[in-house]
């Protein structure tokens, strides 16, 4: 164990609150560091000691088994003591819980706090109240930076580059933090980004975030190297944003036929969990062009890279 990482990359930020504000060089630095952890994670001995003695708290105000376990594994493989804390937002008064919990946790001297919250900006609010590094694991419809990083890593490993690729992001853009973080990262890395959705799921002014906008899949997927599908929440497909699940699947669900509009070597991604038969057909989700499982693998490596890079900034590091 304890083969030192080759990359000595240091992220010159105290927190990772979003992709916004990261330079292309910083993103590349994180992805390069993550590559080393991909290798490490494929070995029998997966442990490093770089976070030994450090305390990492995963503070989840919104349930997410996948993201939380990915962060937990990442921290443990780097040697940190990891504590999971799930705060059900319904059981307590929301905002009070956020600040009070932040103060309480801060008094326990954690080194890193990983936060997921249902409100945009909540992670930044919390970061202003604590003395340690904070990692945004998703805040409302704002950002989910580690998801965009793992998507970037997955793309780069499979296509050899990000620059110059055409990435189509399809589905509920309005409510998606995954979409926002990816739009910012892909633009920073020189990709072309297109969003594809019915107009009710496209937020105002989205075209000014550096994306092309399409309202149907044939036009939207034309020439795409990557097709990134987004999850559509059940409560939004009963007539409020789209008329029904079946209408949505008919026009926007990714099946073999619609995937045929993209480039023949196009690859399919999904941040999970997937609604099979709503936004993606099983044959595509499990097909040869799907990168969904690799995304999960990259998730652990990217989170290790983020933890490692931020911890190099911590006092007494």
Partner 1 sequence: MLSERRPILLANARIVDPSRDLDTRGDLLIADGQIRDVKRGIGAGGVPEGTEVFDCRGKVVAPGLIDMRAFIGEPGAGHRETLASASEAAAAGGVTTIICQPDTSPAIDDPATVDFVLRRARDTAIVHVHPMAALTKGLAGEEMTEIGLLKAAGAVAFTDGARSIGNAQVMRRALVYAGDFDALIVHHTEDPDLIGDGVMNEGEYATRLGLLGIPRAAETVVLERDVRLVALTGGRYHAASVTCAESLDVLRRAKDAGLSVSASASINHVTLNENDVGSYRTFLKVAPPLRSEDDRKLLIEAVASGLVDAVMSDHNPQDVETKRLPFAEAAPGAIGLETMLSAGLRLVHNGEIELMALLRAMSTRPAELLSLPGGTLKPGAPADVIVIDTDVPWVLDPADLKSKCKNTPFDEARMQGRVVRTIVGGRTVYEHL
Q: Which residues contact 149 (CB under 8 A, 6 or more apart)?
A: 19, 27, 30, 31, 34, 185, 302, 305, 306
Q: Of 174 and 289, which has the nearer Cβ to partner 1? A: 174
Candidates 203, 236, 296, 313: give the one binding partner 1 (CB under 8 A). Answer: 203
**Quick check: 158 binds partner 1 (CB under 8 A)?**
no
Q: Of 36 and 139, which has the nearer Cβ to partner 1? A: 139
- Residue with tokens 């040697």, as numbered in its chain: 79
Task: Give the integer Cα–Cα distance in Å for 149 and 166.
Answer: 17
* Options 72-80, 172-180, 188-196, 279-287: segment touching partner 1 (CB under 8 A): 172-180
Contact of 76 with 58, CB cutoff 8 Å: no
Candidates 92, 125, 245, 296: give the one binding partner 1 (CB under 8 A). Answer: 125
Q: Which 3 state secondary structure label does DSSP give 66?
A: helix
Task: Give the integer Cα–Cα distance in Å for 40 and 35.
Answer: 9
- Residue with tokens 């990134």, as numbered in its chain: 228
**Quick check: 236 binds partner 1 (CB under 8 A)?**
no
Angle, helices 65-77 vs 292-311, to 10°: value is 50
**Quick check: 85 binds partner 1 (CB under 8 A)?**
no
Contact of 228 with 168, CB cutoff 8 Å: yes
**Quick check: 213 binds partner 1 (CB under 8 A)?**
no
How many chain residues touch partner 1 (CB under 8 A)? 27
Q: Which two tokens stand for residue 176?
A: 């998606």
| Cβ-based neighbour number of residue 312 at 10 Å | 14
**Quick check: 59 binds partner 1 (CB under 8 A)?**
no
Candidates 94, 215, 236, 263: give the one binding partner 1 (CB under 8 A). Answer: 94
* Options 161-169, 204-212, 215-223, 285-293: segment touching partner 1 (CB under 8 A): 204-212
* Options 149-157, 199-207, 255-263, 287-295: segment touching partner 1 (CB under 8 A): 199-207
**Quick check: 156 binds partner 1 (CB under 8 A)?**
no
**Quick check: 143 binds partner 1 (CB under 8 A)?**
yes
Torsion from C-alpha of 164, 223, 281, 287, nearest 10 degrees: -70
Using CB under 8 A, list all residues that contact partner 1: 20, 94-96, 98-99, 117, 119-122, 124-125, 139-143, 174, 177, 180, 203-206, 208-209
């Amino acid at each position: 164990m304890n083969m030192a990482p080759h990359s000595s990359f240091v992220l010159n930020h105290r927190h990772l609150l979003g992709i916004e504000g990261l330079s292309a060089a910083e993103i590349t630095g994180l992805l390069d560091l993550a590559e080393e952890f991909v290798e490490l994670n494929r070995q029998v001995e997966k442990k490093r000691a770089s976070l030994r003695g450090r305390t990492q708290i995963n503070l989840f105000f919104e349930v997410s088994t996948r993201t939380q376990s990915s962060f937990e594994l990442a921290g443990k493989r780097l040697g940190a003591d990891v504590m999971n804390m799930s705060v059900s937002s319904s059981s307590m008064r929301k905002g009070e819980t956020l600040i009070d919990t932040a103060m309480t946790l801060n008094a326990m001297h954690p080194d890193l706090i990983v936060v997921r919250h249902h409100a945009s900006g909540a992670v930044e609010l919390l970061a202003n109240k604590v003395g340690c590094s904070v990692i945004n694991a998703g805040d409302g419809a704002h950002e989910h930076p580690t998801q965009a990083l793992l998507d970037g890593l997955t793309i780069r490993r499979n296509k050899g580059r990000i620059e110059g690729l055409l990435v189509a992001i399809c589905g509920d853009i309005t409510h998606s933090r995954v979409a926002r973080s990816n739009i910012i990262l892909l633009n920073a890395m020189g990709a072309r980004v297109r969003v594809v959705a019915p107009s009710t799921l496209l937020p105002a002014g989205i075209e000014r975030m550096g994306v092309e906008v399409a309202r149907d899949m044939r036009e939207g997927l034309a020439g795409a190297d990557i097709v990134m599908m987004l999850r559509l929440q059940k409560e939004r497909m009963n007539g409020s944003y789209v008329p029904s699940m079946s209408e949505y699947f008919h026009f926007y669900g990714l099946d073999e036929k619609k995937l045929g509009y993209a480039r023949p070597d196009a690859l399919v991604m999904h941040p999970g969990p997937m609604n099979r038969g709503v936004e993606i057909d099983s044959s595509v989700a499990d097909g040869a062009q799907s990168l969904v499982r690799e995304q999960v693998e990259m998730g652990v490596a990217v989170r290790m890279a983020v933890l490692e890079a931020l911890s190099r900034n911590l006092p007494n590091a």
